[in-house]
Structure 1
Amino acid sequence: MKMRHYLKLHVKSYRVLAAKEIQIRGKINHVSRSHTLTACVTDPINVIFQLNVKEQIFDSMKGDNISLQSKKDLLIVHFGNSYLKKQKTKEKA
Structure 2
Amino acid sequence: MLKLKEQVRELVLNARYAIQWHHILSRHPNITEDDIINGLLYGYYKPDREIDGRYLSWSRMNYPPRLIRIVFEVHETNAGSLVRIITAFDED
TM-score with structure 2 length normalisation? Answer: 0.28
**Radius of gyration: which is bigger?**
1
Task: Name the structure with the higher helix share.
Answer: 1
Which is richer in strand? 2
**Which gives a bigger RCO, structure 1 or 2 (Cα 8 Å, sep 6+)?**
2
